[in-house]
C-alpha cells in the first residue's frame, strides 16, 4: 500500500459558537459543521505536507460523514480503511470559547459512528512498511471498543517495527484522570514519542511541575518527550538533553487543532531524518499556521508554507 503514516480514532464534526464568552447552556448561534476529531486533524495535516498516509475509523452514512471523507480526499488521505456505518450517525462536538482563552466542550462520539471502531478494522497488512502510528488518548478513553482497537494497533505496530507517536489529548469530559492514566499506561509503555501539553504532562505524572513531570515520564522508558507549549513553542526531552525551541508569533483566529497539526509537523520532520532542533522548529511552524484560520482543519498548511515560516 505504501503508507508511511497510519492514524486511527474518532472522526467527527465541530460546531462552534460564533462569539467568545457565550457558554453552551445559553441559546445562541453556532458556526459549522467543520471536519474534526484529534487524530483526523493530525492525518489531514500530514497529508497536506505530502506524506502518504491512511486512516482507520468510522463515519455515519450521512452528510457529516461525507463532509469528512471529502476533506480527506482533497488533502490526500487514503480513506480505504474508513468504514461507513448504516446504524450510527457521525459524531459531533459543540464548542464554546471562554474569555480566558479556554474552551468548553460537549462531545457526542463514543456512542456514535465515530466511536464504533472495531478490532476487525485493525489489520496487519495495513501496517506493512508503515514508519509511524499516531494515536491519541481521546480515542482510547472513548469506549471499550475504541480502547481495544487502539491497543491492537499499537501491538501490531511495535511487532512490525513501526514507531508510535502518542498524544495524550486528555479530555476530562470523557473520563476522570485516574481512569485516563490507567487507560493510557499500556500505550505509554510502547510509546517512542510522547506529545503532551504542559497540563497533560503534569496530569499523567501526578506532578505539578511540568519539567519534573516530563523527566518522570521519560524515566519510564519513553525515548523522547516533546512538550507542547502553544505560542511559547516546545521543549524536547531526548537522551540527556532538554532542547527549548521558541514558537512563532501569528495572529490567532482559532486554537482548535494546533496541537494535532504540531504533531503532524514533528512526525514529518522525523520521517525526513532532521535533527531535533530543526524538527521542533518545523513542528512549531505547522502548529502556528493552523491557528490562523477558523476551523480545526482549515489552517493546515502546505509544505511550502510551513518551510517558509520555519526558515528551512
> What pLDDT is recorded for position 210?
96
Positive or negative, the CA dihedral 71, 73, 76, 80 is positive
Asked whether residue 308 is assigned to any structural domain, the reply reads no
DSSP, residue by residue, 6-46: EEES--EEEEEESSTT--TTS---EEEEEEE-HHHHHHHHH
pTM of the complete model: 0.95
Asked whether residue 247 is assigned to any structural domain, the reply reads yes
CATH classification at residue 51: 3.40.1190.20
Asked whether residue 312 is assigned to any structural domain, the reply reads no
- pLDDT reading at 299 higher than 80: yes
91-97 and 12-17 beta bridge pairing = parallel
Q: For residue 124, give the C-alpha cell.
A: 496487519
- pLDDT reading at 1 higher than 60: no
For the chain, give the number of residues. 312
- Reported as a single tens digit per residue, the pLDDT across 61-114 is 999 999 999 999 999 999 999 999 999 999 999 999 998 888 898 988 888 999
Asked whether residue 305 is assigned to any structural domain, the reply reads no
What percentage of the chain has pLDDT greater than the value 70?
99
| Number of independent structural domains in the chain | 1
Q: Which domain holds residue 13?
A: 5-300
| CB contact at 8 A, 42 and 261 | yes
Asked whether residue 75 is assigned to any structural domain, the reply reads yes
- Reported as a single tens digit per residue, the pLDDT across 119-178 is 999 999 999 999 999 999 999 999 999 999 999 999 999 999 999 999 998 776 677 888
Asked whether residue 310 is assigned to any structural domain, the reply reads no
Asked whether residue 306 is assigned to any structural domain, the reply reads no
Q: What gap in Å lies between CA 79 and CA 263, rounded to an integer? A: 20
Asked whether residue 307 is assigned to any structural domain, the reply reads no
Place of cell 508554507: 305
Amino acid at each position: 500500500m505504501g503508507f508511511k503514516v497510519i492514524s486511527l480514532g474518532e472522526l467527527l464534526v465541530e460546531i462552534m459558537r460564533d462569539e467568545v464568552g457565550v457558554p453552551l447552556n445559553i441559546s445562541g448561534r453556532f458556526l459549522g459543521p467543520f471536519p474534526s476529531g484529534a487524530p483526523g486533524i493530525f492525518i489531514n495535516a500530514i497529508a497536506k505536507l505530502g506524506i502518504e498516509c491512511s486512516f482507520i475509523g468510522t463515519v455515519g452514512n450521512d452528510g457529516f460523514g461525507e463532509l469528512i471523507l471529502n476533506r480527506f480526499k482533497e488533502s490526500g488521505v487514503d480513506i480505504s480503511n474508513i468504514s461507513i456505518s448504516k446504524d450510527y450517525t457521525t459524531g459531533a462536538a459543540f464548542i464554546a470559547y471562554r474569555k480566558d482563552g479556554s474552551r468548553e466542550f460537549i462531545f457526542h462520539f463514543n456512542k456514535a459512528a465515530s466511536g464504533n471502531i472495531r478490532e476487525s478494522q485493525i489489520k496487519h497488512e495495513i501496517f506493512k512498511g508503515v514508519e509511524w502510528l499516531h494515536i491519541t488518548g481521546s480515542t482510547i478513553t472513548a469506549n471499550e471498543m475504541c480502547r481495544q482497537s487502539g491497543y491492537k494497533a499499537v501491538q501490531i505496530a511495535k511487532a512490525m517495527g513501526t514507531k508510535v507517536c502518542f498524544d495524550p489529548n486528555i479530555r476530562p469530559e470523557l473520563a476522570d484522570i485516574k481512569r485516563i492514566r490507567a487507560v493510557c499506561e499500556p500505550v505509554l509503555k510502547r510509546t517512542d514519542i510522547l506529545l503532551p501539553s504542559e497540563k497533560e504532562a503534569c496530569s499523567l505524572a501526578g506532578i505539578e511541575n511540568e519539567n519534573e513531570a516530563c523527566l518522570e515520564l521519560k524515566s519510564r522508558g519513553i525515548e523522547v518527550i516533546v512538550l507542547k507549549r502553544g505560542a511559547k513553542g516546545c521543549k524536547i526531552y531526548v537522551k540527556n538533553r532538554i532542547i527549548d525551541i521558541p514558537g512563532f508569533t501569528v495572529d490567532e483566529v482559532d486554537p482548535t487543532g494546533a496541537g494535532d497539526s504540531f504533531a503532524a509537523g514533528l512526525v514529518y520532520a522525523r520521517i525526513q531524518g532532521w535533527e531535533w532542533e530543526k524538527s521542533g522548529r518545523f513542528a512549531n511552524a505547522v502548529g502556528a499556521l493552523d491557528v490562523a484560520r477558523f476551523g480545526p482543519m482549515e489552517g493546515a498548511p502546505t509544505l511550502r508554507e510551513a518551510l517558509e515560516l520555519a526558515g528551512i
